[in-house]
Amino acid sequence: MSKLAGWMSVILLLFLLLAGVMFVALSVGATQIPFAKILSLLLHGNDGSAYYSILFKIRLPRIIIGFAVGSALSLAGVILQGMFRNPLVEPYTLGISGGAALGVCLGIVLRINNVFGTITIPALGFLGAMAVIWLIYFLSVRKNIMNLQGILLTGVMISFICSALFMLVMALARMEDLHGIVFWTMGSLEQSDWNLIKVIVIVSMLGLCAAYAFCKDLNAFALGEEEALHLGIATHTTKKILFVITSLLTGASVAVAGIIGFVGLVIPHCVRILVGSDHRILLASAYLAGGIFLIACDTIARTLIAPMELPVGVVTGILGGTVFIYILSRNQGGR
């Protein structure tokens, strides 16, 4: 009972922190909005002021995307690190980001978005990510046996190949296309299409529900694959399903927000230090913490050199890398 009470306290604290970060993100920016005005607009709706348009058409969509993408990437990181038993594995290690970047790059260079509209870029990013996922799965499954180390090595090599092809396409691209390509690869939460926002929110929440169906399996994987098999876990089927879940979470995130690194690597580490390695609490805690972290990073990106805006991937890279180095320096003898 005491463990459950401790877990509930952690979740409550994260919800309170999420609410605080969201209110700060709604308030600060090139135009400051008082907290009292935010509460009034949230409770009473449109009052005809410019604050309403800024709040509901610019800042709120970014916050929703930030929470959904940050949660999805962090959740994918927890699952992959638990499944591979490797603390350095993250959603982008498997080459998913490279495939998405290559798809978007080709779309911009070939001007496909001029034919099919704004939905083209996210769609090409998702298709590129899923193409890499399918290729990794096809190359790594032999005689109906999924080898985790084989998946990891194959993903890393495919990532290098995609990066090389990406640089080749950029070298051949027109100058006017380079800005859009580079900006997308650094990540952005500036997305006004509510259909895409709904998709990433639904994928993120369904991913959490699906992951919880395998929390005991992930705890068993921590003992080793053979031990998990002896405990009655259908390891082969479980690995397939978990791989699909993390792939969809990562692919959808990359398609909507571009490449945002370090969230799926650093947040699972930080949360694991705070709550332990039991996936019954780790999954939910990392889910909330990932959303909080990305919302906070996007707020910094919007306000640090306002009215100009930094790509959110730059902020997550700097903060995430700094935090990760600090954790390693404090745990030299640890895992």
pLDDT digits (tens, 9 = 90+) for 266-279: 999 899 988 988 99
Report yes or no on 195 lying in a domain: yes
Which candidate, 252, 246, 244, 259, places its Cα nearest to that of 320? 259
Could you read off the pLDDT of 131-169 as tens digits, one per residue?
A: 888 888 788 776 566 677 778 888 888 888 988 988 888
Reported as a pLDDT band with limits 50, 70 and 90, residue 46 is confident
Reported as a pLDDT band with limits 50, 70 and 90, residue 291 is very high
Could you read off the pLDDT of 206-246 as tens digits, one per residue?
A: 999 999 999 988 988 888 777 877 777 877 788 888 888 88
Could you read off the pLDDT of 1-23 as tens digits, one per residue?
A: 578 888 899 999 999 999 999 99
Task: Put residue 164 in one of left, alpha, beta given phi > 0 → left and psi -120 to 50 → alpha.
Answer: alpha
Length of the chain equals 335
Whole-angstrom distance, CA of residue 37 vs CA of residue 55? 10
Which residue type, as a one-letter code, is found at position 104?
Answer: V
**In the predicted model, what is the mean pLDDT of residues 310-323?**
88
Report yes or no on 129 lying in a domain: yes
Phi and psi torsions of 145, nearest 5°? -120, 125
306 versus 290: which is more confidently predicted?
Answer: 290
Positions of E strands within the chain: 141-142, 145-146
160 versus 47: which is more confidently predicted?
Answer: 160
Residue 142: beta bridge partners?
145
Phi and psi torsions of 141, nearest 5°? -95, 115
Q: Evaluate whether 55 touches 41 at the Cβ level (below 8 Å).
A: yes
**In the predicted model, what is the mean pLDDT of residues 248-260?**
86
CATH, residue 71: 1.10.3470.10
pLDDT value, residue 241: 87
Q: Evaluate whether 313 touches 258 at the Cβ level (below 8 Å).
A: yes
pLDDT at 334 over 70: no
Which candidate, 260, 314, 322, places its Cα nearest to that of 291? 260
Helix (H, G, I), strand (E, B) or coil at 141: strand
- Sequence-distant (6+) residues with CB within 8 A of 90 are 76, 77, 80, 81, 261, 262, 264, 265
pLDDT at 117 over 70: no
Q: Evaluate whether 106 touches 125 at the Cβ level (below 8 Å).
A: no
Token couple for 51? 């604050």
DSSP for 101-165, please give it: HHHHHHHHHTTTHHHH-TTHHHHHHHHHHHHHHHHHHHHHEETTEE-HHHHHHHHHHHHHHHHHH
The structure's pTM equals 0.89
Which residue type, as a one-letter code, is found at position 27?
Answer: S
Reported as a pLDDT band with limits 50, 70 and 90, residue 103 is confident
Number of domains forming the structure of the chain: 1
pLDDT at 293 over 60: yes
pLDDT value, residue 113: 66
Token couple for 317? 């890279």
Helix (H, G, I), strand (E, B) or coil at 44: helix
Token couple for 117? 């509209």
pLDDT, averaged across the chain: 85
Domain encompassing residue 77: 2-330
Report yes or no on 335 lying in a domain: no
- Sequence-distant (6+) residues with CB within 8 A of 118 are 193
pLDDT value, residue 127: 85
